[in-house]
Chains A and B, each alone.
Chain A
């Protein structure tokens, strides 16, 4: 049945959403890469003998890398300049039976790998930790965004643990700021919620936070007086970039036990995004602040489907290197302690060593082309 009102509303919605919507440079980058990849695939298909030779070289290099008595020159730590890409590989504490399974990336500087979908413009997180200052116990998120609001007022959904203030009038663009508070996921005090979600903090606490917020320049809010025991752990954009120039390497003994190491540059996603869960623990990794958890800390499983064990993650660790690189190890069939031992024992390698680990389709130390994941030892 025709519905002129709904028709008009849809036209208005699409018109408004499409206004000023322009693709970013990332689209041009992607098109260029895909285009060049296809050229390269065609050329590669005609290079049978050459490929066999490269595979043999990679296999030998990988076998040397895995060997406990490998010569130090193969994976020697190198002094890295400020503008050099960081490459890390597993060191001597690799569990027995583990082999290099796959590598990719490292040759796409500046190429972005995605970002958040942006329900809120920004999120600011405050956390109360346990007595040992290791695990989050309670979490307060202050989130805001511009929005077309209907009226100035305060709303709350106490059973869901949030209270918010809308500022603006009529159909003008205004702002919404929401304060959400809950017991950290997985904490024993938060298990009483009938639907299994986190137990909310008392509404009076959230209202007090909302009242204590003051606008800050050029945007956002500052909390004049933090609730007892809470500390600011981070703030991030709803459209935070996941990072650039992703490089990956995976090791394992089978498709049941192993780990993936991911390194990205320029990530805008702080570790504090994961500090809403009491099973997450603050740790020191390679001298840097980090977090470890018995589940996936990464945003998604970004590896090739050939590394099947990563569908059942049992531990992960994440930290930021001094150069700003976000590093994540995601493991299956391994404990947190095992993963931390591997993280602490990682070795810095130079670009030549890194690219020598790649399979035939990934060797491109000079180039702008992305490398697809190559399974070295299927």
Chain B
């Protein structure tokens, strides 16, 4: 086993659970999350084998994960809609499930946001990063982070207010 593989094993063990939780919070699906995390590690492996050294592997992996989820979700949107229609327990009933609890209402509202907006919220409120840190991690201007967060929060407020009125 080469140095790249040894580095891979160490970093995989250290970050697999952290990345998985991040992915589930962003996409809401365990299977997709495992797929995305696996793909991220598979993509980074050749770099390590080529001798690259990652000074901040956690940041690199998190960025790769968000990119993977964003790209993957664009491709998989149709597939998810098809699958949801097929299986009886997911046939478009989330709107009503959302009445059941506060937690579920919030989760249902979050699920309507684009992946990039959810990623910003998860990094801000779960990982507890500042806007500047999120901008560095995602490699986007800080203004982009600020506007994504603002749009996401506005949309959440709008959805939660609508449900309160409906109830």
Q: Which A residues form the contact surface with B (CB < 8 A)?
A: 3, 6-7, 9-11, 13-18, 21-24, 26-28, 30-31, 34-35, 37-38, 114-120, 123, 125, 141, 143, 147-150, 155, 157, 160, 162, 166, 176, 236, 238, 269, 273-274, 276, 296, 298-301
Measured between alpha carbons, how far is A16 from B17 in the docked complex, in Å?
16
User: Would you give the shortest CB distance from B29 to chain A, in whole angstroms?
Assistant: 6
Are the C-beta atoms of A31 and B101 separated by less than 8 Å? no
Measured between alpha carbons, how far is A30 from B38 in the docked complex, in Å?
6
Are the C-beta atoms of B126 and A160 separated by less than 8 Å? no
Chain A hits for B25, CB < 8 A: 14, 17-18
* Segment of B54-62, B87-95, B130-138 in the binding face: B87-95
Are the C-beta atoms of B110 and A23 separated by less than 8 Å? no
Chain B hits for A23, CB < 8 A: 16-17, 20, 33-34, 37
- Specify which of A17, A24, A166 lies most central, judged by the most chain B CB atoms within 10 Å of its CB: A17
Measured between alpha carbons, how far is A95 from B104 in the docked complex, in Å?
51
Q: Which residue of B lies closest to A21 (CB)?
A: B21
Chain A hits for B37, CB < 8 A: 23, 27, 31
Interface residue range, chain B = 35 or more
Number of A-B residue pairs having CB atoms within 8 Å of each other in the complex: 135
Chain A hits for B30, CB < 8 A: 24
Interface SS of chain B: helix
Q: Which residues of B13-40 have CB atoms within 8 Å of chain A's CB atoms?
A: 16-17, 20-21, 24-25, 28-31, 33-35, 37-39
User: Would you give the shortest CB distance from A304 to chain B, in whole angstroms?
Assistant: 14
Chain A hits for B140, CB < 8 A: none
Q: Which residue of B lies closest to A273 (CB)?
A: B88
Are the C-beta atoms of B39 and A34 separated by less than 8 Å? yes
Chain B hits for A6, CB < 8 A: 153, 156-157
Residue B126 contacts which of A18, A31, A147, A176 (CB distance < 8 angstroms)? A18
Query: Do A34 and B38 contact each other (CB < 8 Å), given the known contacts A17-B25, A123-B89, A147-B101?
Result: yes
Query: Do A7 and B79 contact each other (CB < 8 Å), given the known contacts A31-B38, A117-B29?
Result: no
Q: Which residues of B93-134 have CB atoms within 8 Å of chain A's CB atoms?
A: 93-94, 96-97, 99-104, 106-107, 110, 121-122, 125-126
Are the C-beta atoms of A114 and B89 separated by less than 8 Å? no
